[in-house]
Each structure stands twice: as C-alpha cells, then as structure tokens.
Structure 1
Amino acid sequence: MRTKLALGASAMALGLLAVSAARADDYHVTKLVQGSAFHGVHGLGIDKAGRLFAGSVAGAALYEVDRDKGTAKIAVPTPEGMADDIAFAPDGTMAWTAFLTGDLYARKGDGPIKKLASGLPGINSLAFRKDGRLYATQVFLGDALYEIDVAGEKPPRKIMEKIGGLNGFEFGPDDKLYGPLWFKGQVAAVDVDKGELNVVADGFKIPAAANFDSKGNLYVLDTALGQLVRVDIKTGKKQLAAQLKPSLDNLAIDAQDRIFVSNMADNGIQEVDPATGTARQVIIGKLAFPGGIGVVSDGGKDTIYVADVFAYRSVDGATGEVRELARMHADGVTLEYPMSATAKGNEVMLSSWFTGTVQVIDRASGKTIEMLHDFKAPYDAIRLANGKLVVAELGTKSLVEVGGEHGKDRKAIATDLNGPVGLAAAPDGAVYVTEAFAGQVTKIDPATGAKTVVAKDLKMPEGLALAPSGKLVVAEVGAKRVVEIDPATGKVTELAGNLPIGLVPAPGLPPTNMPTGIGVGASGTIYVSSDIENAIYKIAKK
C-alpha cells in the first residue's frame, strides 16, 4: 500500500531534489505544543511491588508509570500491548484486555505473553478472584460476562449477557463482583457462581469503574460528572470523595489506600486523597491524541482547531496555548470521539471514522449545529462554496455529498477512491482528496465525478490543505514529511522532513489510523499534528 516515492535519476528529478532542498531550507520547524506519554489512557493496575501500570487502546501499548517522576515507559508494546483494563492475579500474573481485537492476554513477571481468549470484540474489564479464577466482560461492542480459563485451553464460559455495560469492576470482601452498569447509571453486585445480579446503588450519570480499598470501602467513578464517589455496599448510600474533571476512565487503589484515577481527555493520571478530596497530578498531556486539524486566521492570528479523540480543543498559533472546548462523556456535552477537523468561516467540522459521525459546530458559540450519523468510516468533511457538505468515506471508497434536512440526502459524487482521507476545496468549486493507499492527490469535479490526478508516487498522503499561494500542502505520512504540491504541474516540493508522524496502527484499526492533520494560516504558516508524540508542529518561513 505504501509505494516508494519515484525520484528517478534523470536531470529533471535531480533538479527537483535541488529545488526541494532549497525550499525546505526556507522553513523553520518548531514544536508549538509539547507531546505526552499515552494515546489516551484507560485501565490502571498496581502490582504487589506497588508499580503502577496503565493501558491505552488506540496507542495499543501497556505502560509502566513512575508516579514520583511523572513519567511513563512502554512495558508491553503493540500489538499485544493494547489494554483497556489491567488486573493482577494472586500469584502476580498480569492480565489485560485488547478491546478492539477481542483478545485477552496474560504474562507472569517478564515471562512470555500468553493469549487466554480471543474472538470477544469489546472485551473490556477483568478481575481475578482470590482463588485465581479470572472474569471479564464485553462492553460497547458486546454486553456479556465470562469466566476465562487462566490456562488458555478452554473457551470462555458465558455467565450472563445483556447486563447494561458492566465496566471496570473488582471482587469484594463477600466474593461478589462489584462494578458499574455504564448504560443504566447503577452499581451492581454479581454472584458469578449463580449468575445473579443485584443493584447496590443508583443515580449515577455514567459510572465507569469501581474498586475497593483495604477497609472495604467501594469507590466509584462517574465519568460524566467527573466524580469519585464512596459507596456503602450495605445501604447504597453515596458520598462524594473528590470532584475531578469528566472523562474519567478507571481507577486503582494501592496497599496504602492511595487512589489513582485515569482521565482520557487529560491523557493523564491523578493520585487522589479520599480523606481530603485533593488530587495530585501524576502525569498529564496538553493534548490527548490529536488527529485532523483546521486553521482559521482572524486579524493576523491563527487559531488551530484540533480533533483530539477524547476532546475538542483549540490552539493559539502564536503562543501554543491550548484551550479546551469540549471533552468526551462530560455531562451535557455532544462529542463523539473526533478524529478529523476542518474549519472555515464560523464552522468547525469534526469527523470520527470510529463512530461514523460528522459534527458541525458553531465556531463562536461552540454549540453543535448538526450531528450526522451513519457514515461509513468518514475521514474528513468540508463545506463547499455552494453550501454543500462533502464527506470522505473510507468505508465506501467514495466522496459523499450531503444535503437536505439533517443531512438526510446523500449521494456519492466520486467512487472507487483508493483510501480517501484528506479533503480541501479548490477555488473553482472542485474538491481535492488524498488517496492514501494509491499514494496520490486527486481533483474531483463534484458535478460529474470526473477525476484528475494532481500528484502521484507519494507515500501515504493524509492531511491536506490549500495554502494562500494556491499550492496544496500535504502530510506525506509514509515519508514522514510535509510537501507542497503545485496543482497546475503536479510538482512536489519537500518543506519539512523527519517529522514524528505516522503512528503504527493498532490491530483492528485502518492502515491510515489517526489521520495526520495539516492546516495553513493566512500568512502561509503551516501547522501539522503529530500522532506519535501527541504534539502540534509549526512550519514557518524563516
């Protein structure tokens, strides 16, 4: 899929290289927004030695976190490292769930990794009993509770299904499984031997995880309200232990009853003192997992709008200051894992190939104008001068024109595109699109669907933007560089190379993974997102 850039040995090619080098020397590359450790942080676990581990699904890695230094290192890399939840057996064996691939892995110490179960899409939470037996649930892509054979020799035994999203859970002092029902706003106790469930407490907005301390207190996270709540399992009485930010995912409690909480939107972990409600930030990121970006210039000031997967944010193009506009799962917030962004006029458009959505946001108020569903892996969306919305659907290999009330009228205006990812509107009403798998940029006539190849022999072109000069700028992910393309001649010029873009996709994700975003300000300054570092780079003329 990733073809090599054909430079050739002719005098013309050598001349192009010389021009490219000269143009690249005209630009200065700086890191506008610093990066962070994870690509979204989810499950947490603490081993007997007190080491803190954290899992990432999109990053497909399992990390060991130094809670004193606030740093993280990869303990289990991709692909086996994908972890939505982590648990430790009485003998010290660590087990974790690979949410997207439906696999459950285990490893004792530094020994070999063993796959205990597979074929369980949405495998999410897991916990060991005191006797070493292992239990896990499917959530979001399924809804069932299983007993897992720790030897990995027998298929999982289904205990219950249609539970309501039994998420991060743990066995209590009475050997019952206590956990939140994500879709019901409740916390329940499950007798795994009898397959019986009883509600312990309710009235939560979105309960995400529950764990016990050494005294038998049950602590529950409400991700929508950003709360850590203490629950009396006998009476169901709830008490707020700490007010945090929404987008909480998981928690782990150590032998000293210190509570560690993960936050997806912050790409961070906090240590919470339940006695005082105070929280210490162990590790955090300015961005969570940036994908597509859109740039708007007002009065000489560039504002970068970032689809940050677990949040929607803006960045000041001069200072790098990050402003949070919305975060996933927050109460009253409409957001569905944004992965691409374009911005023009008073609109920002967010797309998510994972949820099949395109969201149109009023840039000034931040309010959602439209939330359109049922697209097939939409990778980008733009508004044309005629008011029509055009969506790049990777799933159907087409460009889709959207109109009518609530976007109900949809028609393909171009088909058989080989990996449509980035879009840009041409001055003449046409649409430019990057075909990542074909390694080319193509111009589409929306009226006829006619295609014209603008540039070819690129390596996985993704993000695309039209510069004030009329040239196209492209994030050529396979070559880890940003190039400029003259749409009239197809001439390709490197502007910046050796960029940290092109994160290797996790198993179960498209080869294009998180799209690398690119945008251009009115002065010609270029901004590009780094999916490897979770950073934003600025490419400006010297």
Structure 2
Amino acid sequence: MMPPNRLWGSNGVAFGPDGRLYIAQFLAGRISALDLATGDLEDITGADSPVEAPDDLAFGPDGAMYIADLVPGRVWRRTPAGDYDLVSDSVRVPNGITCVGDRLFVNEMRMNGRLLELFPGGGEPVVLTEGLALGNAMQRGPDGNLYYPHMVTGQIFRISPDGGDPELVEAGVSDPVAVRFDRGGVLQVLSRGVNGVVTCVDLFGSGGRTEKVSNVAGLDNAAFDAENRMFVSSFSTGGVLELHPDGRTRELVPRGLSGPYGITVDLHGKVHAGDHYRIASPPDPADELLHFVHGIVADGDLLHLTSQYGQVKTYDRGSRQVRTRASGLDQPLGLCVRADGAILVAEAGAGRVVAISPDDTVTPLVTDLGHPVDVALDASGRLYISDSDRGVVVSSGTVVFPGLDSPQGIAIRGDELFVVEAGTRSLRVLDLVTGSTRTDITDLAVGTPLPRTELFTNGMPGVPQRFAGLAVAPDGTLHLANDGEGTILSLLEKPDEHP
C-alpha cells in the first residue's frame, strides 16, 4: 500500500562542498547525500559510524561536517576523509548547529536551553545565552548575528556570535522549527505543523511579512542552492522537496512512512498506522500530526493510540479532538477494544496488560509478563498476548504458541491466530482449534528488534522502540506494518492454499 521509504524522516539538510544535499535522518541514525541532478541517494554514515541520532548538520570552510547527535548529547566532526572526532559530549540535546567561518555554534532543544560556541581544536564551550525554549535550526544573518527559534514560544531571536543580550526579532510564528536566509537575505522561518507554513520576513528591506503554505506536514529544515532554490525536509514524512516562492512543491525524494508500527482497519476498510510522528492513513495525504504514536486501534469513528510518552489517547476523527485516557504507563505498545468499551493495552516496560475503562480507570489485567508487545481478542472475548522476551503467545495464563523468536503484532481471523515473528521475519499462524502451526510468509521486511535504549534524554524523546503491527480488515484481508522498509502490506488469502 506504500512504497519503501528512502529516508526515515529527513531532518537537518545542508549543501556539502561537492554540491550534494546532505540529509540527517534522526530515526534511522544515519546521514545521506542526495545528488539533485540524478536523484541518487548515498548513505554517508553507516553501521561503523559513532553517530547515533543525527538531527542537524553543518559544513566548515575546510569541508568538515559537524553533526548534532541529539539523543546521546554529542557533537561530532567528520573529516572529508571520513574520520570522526568528538567535539563535545557536554551539550544536552544538541540540535541547531551552524558554522560562522571557522567558528562552530550549537543550541539545545530543551526548556532553558543554551546557545554555545564549541571549539573543535579543544577548549571549554562558551555559553552565549541561556533560556531557550527549545532551540533548533539556526543560521548567521546578513548582519552577522546568529538567528534562532524558540519553538515553544513562537519567537525568533538574534545574538552576536561574540555574545551579549539576545534581541527579539519576530513573534507570533506558529511552531517555528528552523530559521534560514535565502540568497537575497530574506528571513525564512519554517513551522512544523500539518500545513507546512513558511513565514518570510524581509528584515533588511521593506520589513514586510508574508506566508507561503507548502502543505508539507512536519517541515524540519531547509537549504538554498546557488540559484536560490529552496529545498525542504520533513521530520514526519521524510523526503526532500523543492519549495517554490508561491508554495508549490516538486518532490525529489518521495515522502513515506517513519515506521509504521501499530496498524488498524476501520469499519469502512480504511487502514490507519501509528507512524511515530503522526497517524498515517494512506493514501490520504491529510494525515494527523500526533507525536510519538505507536499502537493504534479503530473503534467506530475513534482511534485509540499509545504514545512513547507513556500515554493512551483517543482521537475523534470527526471532531479532530484528542482525549488523554491514561498517563505514566511504561512503554505502552499494542492495544485492542473489549466489548464493554474497555481499552486493553500491552504495557511492555511493566510486563503487564492493563484495562482502561470508559471512565478512564486503569486496572491491571494480566501481570508477570516479560515484554508484552501486542494484544488481540477472539470472537468469544478471550485475550491473547504476544510476549517478545519469552518468545510466546499466551492466553488465560497458558502458553498457546511457544517457540517464537521475538513475536510482535498479532491478529485473529476466525479460528486462526496470526503473529509477526520479527526474529525470523516471518508470518506464523496458529490454528486455535487444533493447535497446529505453520509459516505463511518468510523474508518480510520487518525490523529486527532494537536494543532497549533510554527512551528519553533530558525530557525529550529518544529513538523509538518499534514493532511490526498486524490487523484484519472487515473483509478478512490481513494488513501488516512492514517497519523494516516503511511499507504496509495487504496480505491476500489464496483459498486453495490451505484446504
């Protein structure tokens, strides 16, 4: 239903000395280079790179690449020869990074964050200012000052590279995520909302302020080439697009899914996926930006969601309102809805399944599990749970499907239970009547289980703990979240295959 994703989210972008556009992929933990003429995409950092979660990048005058490695809190220098030097490990949640000549500056994406000058050749960081309300992509302006956003307050500030008091430049900008200047010196502020708004302020000319709407959800960053063409990235959908002055776009790298993780099908047969930064409902482009969505299940016109922040929420597609049902859970993942309206949630970090009643009361339902990933109910209301640590599917305290390698998403169709076995990248099937098992599909592009890393750093989300979801449509078609390549598969039954 979706082609493989070429970029797992696109964050910081910058032109390198070779003329290619370099793209930081926070979720994938790598940096790629795009040839604008040919469309060729090359991975620059690989498995041997020390960079874990690159969010922004910049180039120095000697061709060295400087990388803000957000989750571990490090800043790296990559030489033109491909060697890495650690510039600093004392910046908390480093994000916006820029070079002013041979000087290097970085800011922090946290409340009361700092803007610092770092010294690749050695020396203690110098703090230019504090009190940033989530800093992000910044740049030197035509006047020599550094310009940077406060994402939370909707303000743009500037400060001298030598320090001093910050000056408010612009206010009332919705969710500003990046500050860039075009070749004519016009300030361009990207907003990270669903409409992809760019606010243009002619600070050094007329002083006028205009907006262009790109309809690119989750704008993250931008770079201008020598011809003043503007290229933008999206943290939520990936891809790279050229953005024209009138808001029209030209896609160079197609957008795609950041996961997908949980998956569900509503009563009308429409597929919805929990895609980390959004609810993705392909092929509908009007996705909802709801950050850190993992598990998802349809319930009439409602979608129930689990969040990496430990929340369970209900999204009303009609009113587009979000209601928080539970908070403080430890890594909630898959979920389902019981006949009485209760939401059953696999709380992976706590090793249990909880029930959330219609009045939002949270009650432990099943405890003493290893790492429960997904839950499903059969026609009689019996609950089944996949436990990736123990390699089993359990029901009523009994192991019903043993010997699995990292089972994740599960779904029930009639008398058959389907489970995604991530360790072997296969779809396994259990006959609930006879107890017989089989393997239906092998070589799925599901992601192998990730190590259990810290989900948060300084209050900000880290790299997600992914899982491959599975769902049954009203017509019986199975849908699978192929999270290893960013696709959604519709698995069509062959009636004569299993007489």
Q: TM-score, normalised by structure 2?
A: 0.89
Q: Which residue of 2 aligns with 1:28?
A: none
AA partner of residue 52 (structure 1) = L
Which of 358, 361, 365 is equivalent to 2:312?
358
2:265 corresponds to 1:304: no
2:56 corresponds to 1:95: no
Partner SS, residue 252 of structure 2 = strand
CA drift of 1:214 comes to 3.3
Query: Is the alpha carbon distance of 1:104 and 1:143 closer, same or farther for their aligned partners in structure 2, counting shifts above 3 Å?
Result: same
State the alpha-carbon separation in 1 of the partners of residues 287 and 358 from structure 2. Answer: 27
CA drift of 1:124 comes to 1.2
CA drift of 1:115 comes to 2.3
AA partner of residue 307 (structure 2) = S
CA drift of 1:482 comes to 0.8
Q: Which residue of 2 aligns with 1:499?
A: 444
Query: Is the alpha carbon distance of 1:479 and 1:188 closer, same or farther for their aligned partners in structure 2, counting shifts above 3 Å?
Result: same
AA partner of residue 349 (structure 2) = G
AA partner of residue 69 (structure 1) = T
CA drift of 1:193 comes to 2.7
CA drift of 1:365 comes to 5.8
Q: Which residue of 1 aligns with 2:431?
A: 486
Map 1:331-350; keep pairs closer than 5 Å: 335-350=290-305
Which of 409, 422, 443 is equivalent to 2:374?
422
AA partner of residue 420 (structure 2) = A
Partner SS, residue 33 of structure 1 = coil
Query: Is the alpha carbon distance of 1:373 and 1:279 closer, same or farther for their aligned partners in structure 2, counting shifts above 3 Å?
Result: same
Q: Answer whether contact 1:474 1:484 (CA < 8 A) is retained.
A: yes
Partner SS, residue 423 of structure 2 = helix
AA partner of residue 400 (structure 1) = V
State the alpha-carbon separation in 2 of the partners of residues 459 and 273 from structure 1. Answer: 49
Q: Which residue of 1 aligns with 2:213?
A: 243
AA partner of residue 253 (structure 1) = F
What per-residue deviation string (whole Å, max 9, x for no partner) do you get for residues 285-305 of structure 1?
Answer: 24343111012354xxx3221
2:249 corresponds to 1:279: yes
Partner SS, residue 241 of structure 2 = strand
Which of 115, 128, 146 is equivalent to 2:86?
115
Map 1:426-505; keep pairs closer than 5 Å: 426-444=378-396, 451-467=397-413, 469-487=414-432, 490-502=435-447, 505=450
2:287 corresponds to 1:326: yes
Which of 120, 132, 141 is equivalent to 1:150?
120
Q: Answer whether contact 1:68 1:282 (CA < 8 A) is retained.
A: no
Query: Is the alpha carbon distance of 1:96 and 1:142 closer, same or farther for their aligned partners in structure 2, counting shifts above 3 Å?
Result: farther
Map 1:155-234; keep pairs closer than 5 Å: 156-224=125-193, 225-233=195-203
CA drift of 1:182 comes to 0.5
Q: Answer whether contact 1:209 1:220 (CA < 8 A) is retained.
A: yes
State the alpha-carbon separation in 2 of the partners of residues 65 and 89 from structure 1. Answer: 19
Map 1:495-534; keep pairs closer than 5 Å: 495-502=440-447, 505=450, 508=453, 513-534=465-486
Query: Is the alpha carbon distance of 1:512 and 1:394 closer, same or farther for their aligned partners in structure 2, counting shifts above 3 Å?
Result: farther
State the alpha-carbon separation in 2 of the partners of residues 264 and 371 from structure 1. Answer: 27
What per-residue deviation string (whole Å, max 9, x for no partner) do you get for residues 330-387 of structure 1?
Answer: xxxxx2231222224443222222x222222345665445554332221122221222
CA drift of 1:163 comes to 1.3
Which of 54, 58, 64 is equivalent to 1:83?
54
AA partner of residue 218 (structure 2) = S
CA drift of 1:523 comes to 4.2
The number of aligned residues is 483
State the alpha-carbon separation in 2 of the partners of residues 119 and 428 from structure 1. Answer: 56
State the alpha-carbon separation in 1 of the partners of residues 353 and 175 from structure 2. Answer: 36
State the alpha-carbon separation in 2 of the partners of residues 485 and 43 from structure 1. Answer: 45
Q: Answer whether contact 1:140 1:165 (CA < 8 A) is retained.
A: yes
Query: Is the alpha carbon distance of 1:249 and 1:327 closer, same or farther for their aligned partners in structure 2, counting shifts above 3 Å?
Result: farther
CA drift of 1:512 comes to 8.2
State the alpha-carbon separation in 2 of the partners of residues 379 and 141 from structure 1. Answer: 28
What per-residue deviation string (whole Å, max 9, x for no partner) do you get for residues 120-178 of structure 1?
Answer: 44221111121x12121221487222222313x44544443321122110122333210
Query: Is the alpha carbon distance of 1:536 and 1:367 closer, same or farther for their aligned partners in structure 2, counting shifts above 3 Å?
Result: same
Partner SS, residue 502 of structure 1 = coil
- Structure 2, unmatched stretches of 5+, are 456-462, 495-499
What per-residue deviation string (whole Å, max 9, x for no partner) do you get for residues 257-291 of structure 1?
Answer: 221111233322111233x5443221122434311
**RMSD, matched Cα:** 2.6
Q: TM-score, normalised by structure 1?
A: 0.82
**Which one has more relative contact order, counting CA pairs under 8 Å at least 6 apart?**
1
2:291 corresponds to 1:291: no
2:230 corresponds to 1:259: yes
State the alpha-carbon separation in 1 of the partners of residues 261 and 477 from structure 2. Answer: 19
Q: Answer whether contact 2:406 2:449 (CA < 8 A) is retained.
A: no
What per-residue deviation string (whole Å, max 9, x for no partner) do you get for residues 57-78 of structure 1?
Answer: 1111111112233342311124
Query: Is the alpha carbon distance of 1:156 and 1:477 closer, same or farther for their aligned partners in structure 2, counting shifts above 3 Å?
Result: farther
Query: Is the alpha carbon distance of 1:165 and 1:484 closer, same or farther for their aligned partners in structure 2, counting shifts above 3 Å?
Result: same
CA drift of 1:489 comes to 5.6
Partner SS, residue 351 of structure 1 = strand
Q: Answer whether contact 1:37 1:71 (CA < 8 A) is retained.
A: no
AA partner of residue 443 (structure 1) = S
State the alpha-carbon separation in 2 of the partners of residues 475 and 296 from structure 1. Answer: 21
Q: Answer whether contact 2:112 2:133 (CA < 8 A) is retained.
A: no
State the alpha-carbon separation in 2 of the partners of residues 155 and 305 from structure 1. Answer: 49
Q: Answer whether contact 1:35 1:285 (CA < 8 A) is retained.
A: no
Q: Which residue of 1 aligns with 2:349?
A: 395
What per-residue deviation string (whole Å, max 9, x for no partner) do you get for residues 99-136 of structure 1?
Answer: 22222222121321222222544221111121x12121
Q: Which residue of 1 aligns with 2:458?
A: none
2:3 corresponds to 1:39: no
What per-residue deviation string (whole Å, max 9, x for no partner) do you get for residues 376-413 of structure 1?
Answer: 221122221222222222222221222364x2x22322
